[in-house]
Chains A and B, each alone.
Chain A
């Protein structure tokens, strides 16, 4: 079991900061953090960077679409789609969707997983048995089909997709946090706190939570990648939010508009690369955390 205990000497807030210390020492993680910084910047500054509204249909006075332009034509860096929309602007705005989807899903996964893990691990007994059977059920649900069904049958919106993901993905986090809590609970200082009569809430918040935060972050950073990939698949299958320009939506659009037959590599390669870049950045960071948390693997 990983040993991540932070000594209960400094104040709570300081401990939290200590706990989530970003793994900048690791070259992988550093690369990931730099990609993330760029990605977050792009997402926030999207309106300033993107030359066009990503959904605006550009057409000329004589009712011709400004469609299927090649990179560089008429000032479109990556050309335009078959519907006459600027590809580069879509890539830039796609960062915003990816950021929203990735981070909210990751937050929800980490949050639900941590709470479940904490409750199950700390209280044990029936609570534990119940929550762990719930996790078993979540493990038994095929993830992508579940998200497809929920996305398809509810109003098409990014949030429904995110919620569907969170409803299943907390399972891994929950289990790992639980076993971490189990091992923490038997530590001396937790025992000591209990003996002096600290309340359960206080023990959980002061002594246990800070020690499981890095694990939550590890699973959160993996979930970012999963969420972005899943949203892309859902959009690709046509169950996505039609109003949100995401990279998955772009790929679906390209595929449906026959970018492959047109050999329009400038259209379907960039969104794929953007996804790979951001998702692998998440993986790199999670490896950094792993090295921090499980030093024996760090090589």
Chain B
């Protein structure tokens, strides 16, 4: 061994020069950047290409790793230690009209292990803040806390926020009265309220909409997908609904009364009936809430978990007692949980409780709710037909609601133009093509809305160099968001630097977005200030920081 060392001495002189520079400043390993395939997510794919291109200009070695969603979910969600950076998205849903779900679940340290905080963000100051807003029922006091939370996130840059997409929808204005279309805040014209109010002006009395995602289930106890939710929303009533203004309003509830921070009494509306003719009673409501937390509906369970007890008072009042005060209870629980008929589901759940399967595997032949539309027929991979429930307290103006399953944007647009569809509810294609088509056609109106949801690049904060806020800020600042908006989203998006969408005007911190400086030069100077070497060439860690994760 000794002789070898001596023999190698000559070589070591040359190597030491190299070693000296290497030991002072360790090169940052090749960073793996995950994204989904272009075919599935063209805008995300495009954005990632641009981001990789800009990061390389800083001197970072980036490898873009394309994988389908299931693989990506597996890599990021279930192997939390092992990934570097990934493209990610949060979808806009009515219950996300309350900022709590996003600002709490995504960043609170308690969800870092196996919840939504998959990036591993841990900040005690932030934790305290979001815990407080949760139990602050006074809106103004809560608003301040929510704004403050966004400022902390801006300073820490745990994620590189990209954009809030603008969703484009279109409908045939010769078929429907444009004035009857309801643009729900943060959701757009593809809203529950549109399906109730949409007024046919001619012979075509059916609303024919499309989805590129397949319908997985029509099941009131299974959160199976965004499209499926359009259907359950229509078939089932809920005690509350998120209104066109984004705030919860009584629906199947006649009225409500907060008796104290943790007790709310809800009075059920009179004369509600299920589609099979049986009346909706308080027992059904109690049963519905019990069903969500009864172990057979795991996906709904979190929405009912804060409910300590549900009691009946008199003929038509239900009293909910909560474990802890909750500012978002109306939106996230009462406007979320479907009212299901006890006479249908009680035997089903009893049977399921003896089996491995739960309620999520159960598909009724004809789902029975009390909602504004009744279920008629489901042709797999083709269409689902609902018809108006004329007896409903808010009966729809249209006769039927028909959901066509059209897997690609090309066919959907063709169908819209030929009248095979009259309301384009899902368009994954280039919005400019849609606008051009509308202009050419003359009968179509295109409406776009800023989404509650957002697209971002998530850093794995557990892994250096992403544990350094300065490094994250530099990477985040490296790309001008206008580039992402224009090039990847074809101008159908707004730049973002906050997880709370501008669509939620009341909660959105505008300064955080307008004050964000970006550009290659900004990024480079942040890196230099933080002590990173080889900026623009081959990036190295600041003095004393070692690369521990290189292969």
Q: State the A residues within 8 Å of B (CB).
A: 57, 59, 63-65, 82-84, 152, 156, 237-238, 242-243, 252-253, 255-258, 260-262
Contacts and interface: CB of A to CB of B under 8 A. Distances in A.
B439 to A, nearest CB: 13
B483 A63 contact: yes
Interface string B479-502: 010110011000000000000000
Given A57-B53, A83-B46, A156-B66, A256 B38 contact: yes
B37 A156 contact: yes
B413 A261 contact: yes
Contacts of A57: 46, 49-50, 53, 487
A84 B45 CA distance: 14
A127 B483 CA distance: 63
B38 A242 contact: yes
A238 B37 contact: yes
B37 A242 contact: yes
Interface in B44-66: 45-46, 49-50, 53, 66
B469 interface: no
Interface of A is mostly: loop
Nearest to B66: A242
Contact of B410 (A82, A84, A243, A255): A255
Given A57-B49, A242-B66, A252-B39, A65 B486 contact: yes
A84 B487 contact: yes
Nearest to B40: A238
A213 to B, nearest CB: 40
Given A57-B53, A59-B483, 12 more contacts: A59-B487, A63-B487, A82-B430, A83-B42, A238-B40, A242-B38, A258-B410, A258-B413, A258-B430, A258-B433, A260-B410, A261-B410
B68 interface: yes
B69 to A, nearest CB: 12
B92 interface: no
26 contacts: A57-B50, A57-B53, A57-B487, A59-B487, A63-B480, A63-B482, A63-B483, A63-B487, A65-B487, A83-B46, A156-B67, A238-B39, A242-B45, A242-B66, A253-B38, A255-B410, A256-B409, A257-B42, A258-B410, A258-B413, A258-B430, A260-B414, A261-B410, A261-B414, A261-B429, A262-B436
A260 B409 CA distance: 10
Interface string B393-422: 000000000000000111001100000000
A243 B67 CA distance: 12
A63 B486 contact: yes
The B contact surface, by secondary structure, is: helix
A243 to B, nearest CB: 8
B409 A258 contact: yes
A57 B487 CA distance: 9
A258 B42 CA distance: 12
Interface in B20-54: 37-40, 42, 45-46, 49-50, 53
Interface residues of B, number: 28
B310 interface: no
Contacts of B480: 63
A238 B37 CA distance: 7
Given A57-B53, A258-B430, A64 B486 contact: yes
Contacts of B409: 256, 258
Given A83-B46, A261-B433, A256 B39 contact: yes
Contacts of B429: 256-258, 261
Contacts of B535: none
Contacts of B50: 57
Nearest to B486: A63
Contacts of B436: 262
A82 B489 CA distance: 11
Nearest to B67: A156
Contacts of A237: 39
A83 B414 CA distance: 22
A57 B47 CA distance: 11
Contacts of A260: 410, 414
A147 B138 CA distance: 59
Contacts of A262: 433, 436
A65 B46 CA distance: 11
A238 B430 CA distance: 18
B352 interface: no
Contacts of A63: 480, 482-483, 486-487
Interface string B64-88: 0011100000000000000000000
Contacts of B487: 57, 59, 63-65, 84
Contacts of A64: 486-487
B437 interface: yes
A260 B413 CA distance: 10
A236 B504 CA distance: 39
Contacts of B414: 260-261
A149 to B, nearest CB: 13
A257 B486 contact: no
Contacts of B482: 63
Nearest to A84: B487
Contacts of A84: 487
Contacts of B430: 82, 257-258
Contacts of A156: 37, 66-67
Nearest to A255: B410
A231 to B, nearest CB: 15
A255 B408 contact: yes
A59 B38 CA distance: 19
Residue from A253, A256, A257 having most chain B Cβ neighbours under 10 A: A256
A260 B410 CA distance: 7
The 6 closest A-B pairs by CB, nearest first: A238-B39, A242-B66, A63-B483, A258-B429, A65-B487, A258-B433
A238 B42 CA distance: 11
A256 B486 CA distance: 18
Nearest to B45: A242
B177 to A, nearest CB: 27
A82 B67 CA distance: 22
A162 to B, nearest CB: 19
Nearest to A56: B53
A229 B487 CA distance: 32
B288 to A, nearest CB: 40
Nearest to B414: A261
A63 B489 CA distance: 12
A101 to B, nearest CB: 19
Contacts of B68: 152
Contacts of A83: 42, 46
